Amino acid sequence: MSDAAVLTGDLIGSRKSGQQATDRALAAIADTAGQFAAPFTRYRGDGWQALLVRPELALRFALIVTARLRAQNAPLTRFGIGIAEIATDRAPSLGAETGNAFVLSGETLDQMPRRAEFAIASTTRQLGAITSAAARLADQVARKWTPQQAEAMVMALALDEPSGLSIAQSLGISPAAASYRLQGANWWDIKAVVSAFEAELKAADD
């Protein structure tokens, strides 16, 4: 057995948004999973699940997903994140995987308080109350990004965390404009939360 993070989610307001918007949102989540080399599956119409073998990346993954959806004006998603054990040997499909992380993730989503949109639970790695609360707050900040801010944050949150100049060049805007977007999105505070989250969960491997 080994630790992993399983993210289970469902789109918010997908019926009202329509099938095309639902498909577009789930395609963005699936593409993000591909960038993280994370197995992904879609189920129950607007539901989805992804597996991260590096559980410390769960918050970064969730924030990138939210940023991509905000950038596209697509339906947002709830996140139920479970960090626990899974079988070491990979199953042929995500639906056939076993382990406590899958159970915990589903239970976390199902037991989420009404109107809550992000919850995380772990049975194997220490996650302090302050870090957990900061992760939830970061999620709430991300849901309020403008499409332009979200577009910049998709890049800023990448694993290699490119420079502001690189982000500006990729977006075809001035460095000052890129800095303005990142500042408006609270990038430096978000970065501090993500760094603390990843350091705290990685400490379990030491």
Gap between the Cα atoms of 157 and 160, Å rounded: 8
CATH number at residue 99: 3.30.70.270
* Model pTM score: 0.94
Tens digit of pLDDT at every position of the chain (206 positions): 689 999 999 999 888 888 899 999 999 999 999 999 999 999 878 999 999 999 999 999 999 999 999 999 999 999 999 999 987 666 656 766 668 999 999 999 999 887 899 999 998 887 888 989 999 999 999 999 999 999 999 999 999 989 999 999 999 999 999 999 999 999 999 999 999 999 999 876 65
| Domain containing residue 158 | 2-205
Could you give the number of structural domains in the chain?
1
Closest CA to 10 of 64, 53, 65, 55: 65
Closest CA to 153 of 118, 174, 180, 119: 180
